[in-house]
Amino acid sequence: MTNFIYAAVLLLLALLGIVARKTYYYLPIRELKRRAAKHDPVAAQLYRAAAYGNSLRGLLWLYTGLTSAASIVLLARLLPVWASLLIVGPLLWVAFSLIPATRTTRPGIFLTKLITPPVVWLLNYLHPLLSRGADTVQKRYTAGDHTKLFEREDLLDLIKRQHHQPDSRISDEELEIVSRALSFDDHRISDIMIPRKRIKTVMADDTVGPILIDEVHKSGQDYALVRESRKGPFVGTLAFKQLDLQSSGKVRDIMEPTVYYLHENDPLSQALHAFFVTNHPLFMVIDNFEEYIGVLTIENVLSQLLGHVPGDDFDQYADISLVAARYAKPDKPQKPADEEPQSEAESQKSDQTPVKTDDEVVE
């Protein structure tokens, strides 16, 4: 009877080792270290042992192997072979298949925290020996970590899953940018261009004034195209931001005289290359017959790549004072001259007023 109790205790200890191994490695060591640095009590306790890396893994395997082997030997002496198999078989399935595949539990975390101090004490002495053996086994017999990613669709699927991961600290905006970047070249210029019917066309000899400015503004676009005549070729572009109440003269005097072209079937990466080479924000889009069918702006491309053009509404980049003022620290409020100074006791009391820090509000 005593041997049977010993065998049962050894089996429970073996299961405890497997539970501890699952708990120590339920998070990558890098994430465990981050949480420990942020004063997470569970992560801080577990990281003490997990920081030993392969030494901890070797110690747990050694512990689990010895306890489970000893329990099986005791059971084989007490019971018939068939009875031992009926007991050991399901236990091995629970230990090496079911438990590692389940989530971490509060009892498992509690027990792992409980055994961490003696585990750390052992590792402090056994680390040099265990690390050599564990490193050798890992190099020769352990398969390398595989990302399980083979194609771009696998990465896109991973990003979708990351959206629904409860403890993810990657914002939806960042995930959206990554997803858009991966599928960026799936789109053609014709997918995002502004069609010609929405673009205002003006003549090069038109007079710049309130009427023309109002017409360009009502078009809702940042640019107008300039023709030499109503059916003539395009000779330039006119940016709405260049127009104000003081603008005068002819359109040809203030227009951008160079016109650049892209094909409707070009990928968006080609558009980015064209923007980089020409440093021009607007391209006319043509088809196979050299017919004008729309325009493409750098804002269209960035919106497709990022979801939106980043930044606030600030546009006064030509004003050095306004640019510097965006990051200027506000002046500290001066103490009114008629305010009576605090006594020394009151000053000390105010200095000792408790302030809730970020660490106190983090659970």
Of the candidates 276, 273, 270, the residue with the CA atom closest to the CA atom of residue 190: 270
- CA 23 → CA 67, 111, 121, distances in Å? 19, 10, 18
- CA 158 → CA 164, 203, 330, distances in Å? 10, 52, 44
pLDDT score recorded for residue 75: 78
Q: Is there a domain that residue 360 lies in?
A: no
Q: Is there a domain that residue 342 lies in?
A: no
Which token pair is 125? 């002495």
Q: Is there a domain that residue 158 lies in?
A: no
pLDDT score recorded for residue 45: 93
Q: What is the CATH number of the domain that holds 221?
A: 3.10.580.10
Which token pair is 50? 């997990």
Instruction: Give the pLDDT of the chain (363 residues) as one tens digit per residue.
Output: 687 788 888 888 888 888 999 999 888 899 999 999 999 999 999 999 999 988 998 899 888 888 888 887 887 777 776 777 777 777 777 777 777 778 888 999 999 999 999 999 999 988 888 888 777 777 776 666 778 888 989 999 999 999 999 889 999 889 998 999 898 888 999 999 999 999 999 999 999 888 888 888 888 888 999 999 888 889 999 998 888 777 788 999 999 999 999 999 999 999 999 999 999 999 999 999 999 999 999 989 988 888 877 677 787 878 888 888 888 876 655 555 555 555 544 544 444 444 333 333 333
Backbone CA torsion sign across 44, 50, 52, 53: negative
**Residue position matching structure tokens 């027990």:** 111
- Number of structural domains, the chain? 2
At residue 326, the 3 state secondary structure works out as coil
Buried-exposed string 234-256: b where 16+ CB fall within 10 A, e elsewhere: ebbbbebeebeeeeeeebbeebb
**Residue position matching structure tokens 């699952």:** 22
Which of 77, 109, 140 is at the close of a domain? 140
pTM exceeding 0.85: no
Of the candidates 301, 295, 325, the residue with the CA atom closest to the CA atom of residue 225: 295
- CA 342 → CA 19, 52, 227, 346, 352, distances in Å? 60, 55, 75, 6, 14
pLDDT score recorded for residue 357: 37
pLDDT score recorded for residue 148: 81
Assess whether 7 and 123 both reside in one domain: yes
Q: Is there a domain that residue 347 lies in?
A: no
Assess whether 126 and 232 both reside in one domain: no
pLDDT score recorded for residue 358: 37
Assess whether 30 and 134 both reside in one domain: yes
Query: Domain containing 274: what range?
Result: 189-306
Beta bridge partners of 52: none
Q: Is there a domain that residue 339 lies in?
A: no
Distance CA 349, CA 318 (A): 50
- CA 348 → CA 46, 338, 352, distances in Å? 41, 22, 6
Contact present, 54 and 138 (Cβ < 8 Å)? yes
Assess whether 239 and 123 both reside in one domain: no
- CA 307 → CA 168, 174, 275, 296, 315, distances in Å? 21, 10, 19, 16, 20
Contact present, 175 and 162 (Cβ < 8 Å)? yes
- CA 52 → CA 120, 141, 143, distances in Å? 9, 20, 20
Of the candidates 114, 142, 148, the residue with the CA atom closest to the CA atom of residue 54: 142
Assess whether 134 and 203 both reside in one domain: no
Sequence-distant (≥ 6) Cβ neighbours of residue 259 within 8 angstroms: 234, 235, 236, 237, 284
Contact present, 223 and 179 (Cβ < 8 Å)? no
pLDDT score recorded for residue 212: 87
Distance CA 51, CA 39 (A): 16
